[in-house]
Amino acid sequence: MCKHVLNAQFMLWTGSQWYDCVLCHAEANGGKPFVPSSRVMSLRCKRCEKVFRKDLSCFSSLDHKCPHCGHMLFFDAKFPSVRIVFLVKHHHGHHGQLV
Ligand SMILES: [Zn+2]
Ligand SMILES: [Zn+2]
């Protein structure tokens, strides 16, 4: 449980460590924002602790559930899921262009 997302339902894999949210990652890395190496990210459900991969570029309401146990990962708006998608788009976009 992190201080940014009080009701975090999953962890995200940044390539070296699991974090509760992108802000935790930024704090642990001297303020550097999390830049996914690809649009497919590994997430880990906090209920069943199973890892699954998610393509954030085609994130739909169906993806709000853990594929293993059906646990709602985004059951309310406290988690900025939209912002993660935005960050992914932003970092893959070209600078100076609206994405
Ligand atoms: Zn956090
Ligand atoms: Zn699960």
Rounded CA separation 18/2 (Å): 12
| Structural domain count of the chain | 1
Domain holding 51, by residue range, is 10-92
- With respect to residue 79, please indicate whether it lies within any of the assigned structural domains: yes
84 CA from centroid of ligand 1 (Å): 13
- With respect to residue 84, please indicate whether it lies within any of the assigned structural domains: yes
Per-residue pLDDT at 96: 46
Rounded CA separation 53/23 (Å): 20
Q: What mean pLDDT do residues 3-18 have? A: 87
How confident is the model over 44-70, as pLDDT tens digits? 999 999 999 988 777 677 678 899 999
Per-residue pLDDT at 50: 97
- With respect to residue 18, please indicate whether it lies within any of the assigned structural domains: yes
Strands (E), the chain: 10-13, 18-19, 40-45, 51-55
Per-residue pLDDT at 49: 96
Task: Tell me how far CA of residue 6 lies from CA of 22, 65, 76, in angstroms.
Answer: 13, 18, 11
- With respect to residue 70, please indicate whether it lies within any of the assigned structural domains: yes
pTM of the shown model:
0.68
45 CA from centroid of ligand 2 (Å): 5
Residues flanking ion ligand 1, Cβ below 5 Å: 2, 4, 20-21, 23-24
28 CA from centroid of ligand 1 (Å): 10
- With respect to residue 97, please indicate whether it lies within any of the assigned structural domains: no
